[in-house]
Amino acid sequence: MPSKRGRARFHPAVKGDLRLKDLRIVFMGTPDFAAAILRRLIDTGRNVVGVISQPDKPVGRKQVILPTPVKTLALANGIPVWQPVKLRDGTALALLKELAPDLVVVAAYGRILPADLLQVPPLGCVNIHGSLLPKYRGAAPIQWSVLNGEEKTGVTAMYMAEGMDTGDMILKLETPVGPDETSGDLFERLAVFGADAIEQTLALFDQGAVPRTPQNDAEATFAPMLTKEMGVVDFTKTAQELHNLARGLDPWPVAGTMLGGKSLKIYKMAAAEGFSGAPGVLLDDRRFVVGCGDGAVELLEVCPEGGKRMSGTDFMRGRRPEKGVCLG
């Protein structure tokens, strides 16, 4: 007999003749990943009565304040947008009660929703999370899937609870992770999967019963926010670990090291067969091959301080660093 924890339950979603397209939906999200999911709600004719997004923030070197991707999409489609600075001072609660949603859909909003907000919509709050829960709960599931060299990942539609990504699961969509796929590449693909997941989830609501499968907390892993410090390359690691680091930190914060007193960003690394040497030491005159923990790694794509992104071969040809110099 299956345990209570592992057994799927069903949530009565829609009563009578009312269909979900008539239900009031509030969407909460911020970046491009969330915008793809909002776009699907709009394209499929769902009744999105309001959008809540994070406050606009300065972007780029010039720190120009730009609207969030979700805000831009919502306003372009005539959907009102609110951007509360705080969620626990009563303002967001009053707003949500005024909007009176039947269901709240959340995707990459960027903050944990307090319990009083979760209790407002009678059908609950549904979140689209960028991993196969319970693996990679937290703020950066897509990046950590790449950093850890996962061969598969996906998205999970789930009911939100007070814990971080601990709620009952509705459905999962799975996809392989390409061996050279970057976090940026995977974000774009999983955004489409996330849009598919919300469409399939709302179809379940339309049918009148939505599965609720409790997560196994013993299998949970966590995906904390990335930091700039994570980008500092440690050449004592294996070539595979360095390969995963470079693709996992692309597009932010990007792996990097120092060479000749100047910073060097590294976008792509791969094992270099036939070479071995001390970690961090340049091992060739023409190819950008550097010793690492289990042999050598080739820096295939880099960006020198004050320069442009280029191949490692072009860097060697133009800068001509001496064989035997140490990076780091």
**What are the tens digits of pLDDT across the range 251-268?**
999 999 999 999 999 999
Output the CA angle 277-280-286, nearest 5 degrees: 75
Q: Is 10 a residue whose pLDDT tops 70?
A: no
- Tokens representing 93 are 């609660």
Tell me if residue 297 falls in helix, strand or coil.
Answer: strand
The Cα–Cα gap between 36 and 56 comes to: 18
- Residue 21's pLDDT is 62
74-115 pLDDT per residue, tens: 999 999 999 999 999 999 999 999 999 999 999 999 999 999
Q: How confident is the model at residue 119 (pLDDT cuts 50, 70, 90)?
A: very high
The topology (CATH level 3) of 228-319 is Methionyl-tRNA Fmet Formyltransferase; Chain A, domain 2 (3.10.25)
Closest C-alpha to 42, from 80, 81, 77, 83:
77
| Rounded Cα gap, residues 167 and 144, in angstroms | 20
Amino acid at the residue 163: G
Tell me if domain 9-219 and domain 228-319 are identical in fold: no
Summarised one tens digit per residue, pLDDT across range 67-77 is: 999 999 999 99
Task: Delimit the domains of the chain by residue range.
Answer: 9-219, 228-319
Which long-range contacts does 119-122 make (Cβ < 8 Å, 24+ apart)?
Answer: 120/93, 120/96, 121/26, 121/96
H helices present in the chain, as ranges: 32-43, 69-76, 91-99, 115-118, 141-147, 183-207, 239-248, 312-319
Q: How far apart are CA 7 and CA 24, in angstroms?
A: 30
Is residue 8 over pLDDT 50? no
Strands 152-159, 125-129: parallel, antiparallel or unpaired by DSSP? antiparallel
Q: From CA 49, how far away is CA 21, in angstroms rounded?
A: 11
Mean pLDDT, the chain, rounded, equals 93
State yes or no: pLDDT of 17 exceeds 60: no
pLDDT tens digit string along 29-72?
Answer: 999 999 999 999 999 999 999 999 999 998 877 888 999 999 99
CATH 3.40.50.170 is right for the domain spanning 9-219: yes
pLDDT digits (tens, 9 = 90+) for 161-189: 999 999 999 999 999 999 999 999 999 99
User: Cβ–Cβ contacts within 10 Å for residue 147, how many?
Assistant: 20
